[in-house]
Each structure stands twice: as structure tokens, then as C-alpha cells.
């Protein structure tokens, strides 16, 4: 009978086992097979990047993954250590043969369950001084063929200060309300991207519970990651931004200032005021010397 997760965890130091596995050259990703791993053994892994992946073929036993990220520039204030670290994981297709727990202070909390269907994701935050790991436990099956537990991960410092945590399908636990003036001004300073443009259309994905906003933008004010790339033959940039389906986003006329964050190579919407409204609040804050940062209004 398989050991429960907590007993596996307590015995992980005594049950190390060889496994057919390999790290990527940059130590950001790991790929292995449980075919040579004993049923109740726990393989100790460590990854040292702000993003990467794990792929476990034919899961058997368990994996204990320690994440020690070299956080990317801008993940906290300049010269500052992050007050919190947030890790997000997203399954790569059907997640079969294992479940992922977050291990904190000797306790396990389910983060990603075994499931069919489209990719799903979850996030968890902790303080830098806390000892946190991901515990990937195989689930018992008579036939382990075609079972692959694979996910991508991202880590940021102080992510939770800017964006509510994801739930399943990477949707946000928010109220889908308009941002206040103060939130808009802070979003312009802290978001992964700030672009000005128009909405070309909105499509809805019922399965993923996401809405995809197609935009056209002549102006990229800032982006930390290459989410929006100008076309060689045009000054315009076309791109997409995602948001939870339940927020009920619809296409509308006018020019908007889109802000948001990058998650697993996709743009996710933060605040998106009409550009004329943003100019009004920015100029008012500038006159009162309350702007958290400067931005060109050309």
C-alpha cells in the first residue's frame, strides 16, 4: 500500500534512489523517468532559475524539488531583496500519474492534481527565509504507460503585490473591477508591459475559461519581455492579451493603455484605462507631485 505524502516526506532523506534523469545545461529544467525508481523512494532535485520545466515520465515514487531562483531584474525594487517570492506552475497538457504539493513547515498542500484536459496552473507565495519545496508524488496505477507529469514554472519576487494569485486555468482571483487612479499609476510603473492601442476583437475560450483580446498598437511604452513585436513592414504591432472569461471583456471603441504581466510567455491584463482618462489622472498626479514614476505622453 503506498505511503501517504507526509510519511514519504519524513523518510525522503533515507529513501534516495537512482533515476534515469538529466538536468538541462543551464540547470533550469529537469527530465527523468521513474522506471528505475523504487516505489517508495524520493528523488531530491534542485533548480536555480526564474523559469524552467520538469518532465517526469512513468512516475514512480516521488520527487522533492527545491527552487532557489536567481530572480530576473525588476522582480523587486532596485537593489532590494524581495519580501515575498511567488512560484507559478502550469501543467504541460494532460497531467497524468502524479500530483504536486507545496511543502511548507513540514506540511503539504495540494497545488496541482492529476487530471485530463487543457493545461492548468496554480501559484503560491512565501517569504525568502521560509524553507519551501514542491513535492511531486506519483499516483498508484496498474498501468503506468503513457503517463507523463510535466509542468513549467515561473518565479518572481513580490509578484503578489501586483497581481492576485492564479487559480485553475491561470485565471485571476480578482473582482474584475476597474482600477482606481492610484492603481493605474502604479501599474504603469510596475507592470511587465505598457502599450497603447485599440481592441480589434475579443474571443472566448470556454474550456480554458479565458478571454483573448486582440489589439493593435502603434506605441510600446515599455515591456520587460518580448510579448509585442513590431512588424517589419509596418509601424503597427498586433498582439493578444488574456484575461479571465468571467470578467466579461467585450470589444469597445477608442484608444486604451494596456498594462499587465507576462505569464508563461503570454500577456495577461492588469489595468486598461482609456488613454484620455489615463492622461487626465497622470497630469493631475504630476501637478500634485504624486506620480510614482515618469512616462512620456507623446
- Answer left, alpha or beta for residue 93, where phi above 0 means left and psi between -120 and 50 means alpha: left
Tell me: do 140 and 34 sit in the same domain. yes
Q: Distance between CA atoms of 153 and 88, rounded to whole angstroms? A: 6
Q: Which of 97, 111, 100 is nearest to 149 (CA)?
A: 97
Residue 73 lies in a domain: yes
Residue 186 placed within a domain: yes
Are both 132 and 60 inside the same structural domain? yes
36-85 tens-digit pLDDT: 777 788 999 998 888 899 999 989 889 999 887 665 554 444 445 667 77
In the chain, beta strands by DSSP E: 20-23, 29-33, 42-47, 51-57, 62-67, 85-91, 98-104, 107-112, 121-126, 132-138, 148-157, 193-205, 210-223, 237-244, 256-263, 266-269
Our count of domains for the chain comes to: 2
pLDDT of res. 275: 95
Q: Which residues 6+ apart lie within 8 Å of 291 measured at CB? A: 185, 282, 285
Same domain, 237 and 148: no
Cα–Cα distance measured from residue 66 to residue 265, given in angstroms and rounded to the nearest whole number: 23
Task: Tell me, yes or no, whether 13 and 154 share the same domain.
Answer: yes
pLDDT of residue 8: 43
Q: Is residue 128 part of a domain?
A: yes
Euclidean distance between CA atoms 126 and 135, whole angstroms: 16
Over the chain (298 residues), the average pLDDT of each successive run of 10 is: 44 41 85 82 89 91 83 49 77 88 89 81 80 90 78 74 34 61 91 92 85 90 86 74 86 91 87 94 93 87
Give this prediction's pTM: 0.66
> What residue numbers bound the domain in which 11 lies?
5-161
Please tell me the predicted confidence (pLDDT) of residue 144: 60
Distance from the first to the final alpha carbon of the chain: 67
Q: What is the CATH number of the domain that holds 271?
A: 2.40.50.120
Position 130 scores a pLDDT of: 80
Annotate 136-190 with DSSP letters as a single string: EEE---S--TT-EEEEEEEEEESGGGTSPPB-GGG-B-S--PPPPHHHHHHHHHH
Amino acid at each position: 500500500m503506498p505511503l501517504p505524502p507526509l510519511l514519504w516526506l519524513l523518510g525522503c532523506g533515507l529513501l534516495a534512489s537512482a533515476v534515469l534523469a538529466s538536468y538541462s545545461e543551464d540547470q533550469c529544467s529537469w527530465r527523468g523517468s521513474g522506471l528505475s525508481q523504487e516505489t517508495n523512494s524520493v528523488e531530491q532535485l534542485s533548480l536555480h532559475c526564474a523559469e524552467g520545466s520538469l518532465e517526469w515520465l512513468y512516475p514512480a515514487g516521488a520527487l522533492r524539488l527545491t527552487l532557489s531562483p536567481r530572480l530576473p531584474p525588476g522582480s523587486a525594487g532596485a537593489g532590494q531583496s524581495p519580501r515575498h517570492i511567488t512560484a507559478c506552475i502550469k501543467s504541460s497538457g494532460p497531467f497524468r500519474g502524479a500530483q504536486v504539493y507545496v511543502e511548507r513547515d513540514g506540511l503539504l498542500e495540494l497545488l496541482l492534481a492529476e487530471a485530463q484536459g487543457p493545461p492548468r496552473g496554480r501559484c503560491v507565495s512565501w517569504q525568502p527565509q521560509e524553507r519551501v519545496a514542491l513535492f511531486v508524488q506519483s499516483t498508484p496505477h496498474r498501468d503506468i504507460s503513457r503517463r507523463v507529469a510535466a509542468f513549467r514554472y515561473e518565479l518572481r519576487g513580490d509578484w503578489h503585490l501586483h497581481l492576485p494569485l492564479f487559480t485553475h486555468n491561470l485565471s485571476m482571483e480578482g473582482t474584475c473591477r476597474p482600477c482606481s487612479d492610484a492603481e493605474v499609476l502604479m501599474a504603469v510603473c510596475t507592470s511587465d508591459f505598457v502599450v497603447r492601442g485599440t481592441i480589434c476583437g475579443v474571443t472566448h475560450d470556454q474550456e480554458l475559461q479565458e478571454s483573448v483580446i486582440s489589439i493593435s498598437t502603434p506605441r510600446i511604452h515599455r515591456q520587460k519581455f518580448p510579448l509585442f513585436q513590431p512588424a517589419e513592414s509596418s509601424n503597427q504591432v498586433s498582439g493578444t492579451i488574456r484575461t479571465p472569461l468571467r470578467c466579461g471583456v467585450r470589444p469597445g471603441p477608442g484608444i486604451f493603455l494596456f498594462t499587465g504581466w507576462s505569464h508563461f510567455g503570454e500577456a495577461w491584463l492588469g489595468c486598461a484605462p482609456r488613454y484620455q482618462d489615463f492622461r487626465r489622472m497622470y497630469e493631475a498626479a504630476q501637478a500634485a507631485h504624486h506620480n510614482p514614476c515618469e512616462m512620456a505622453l507623446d
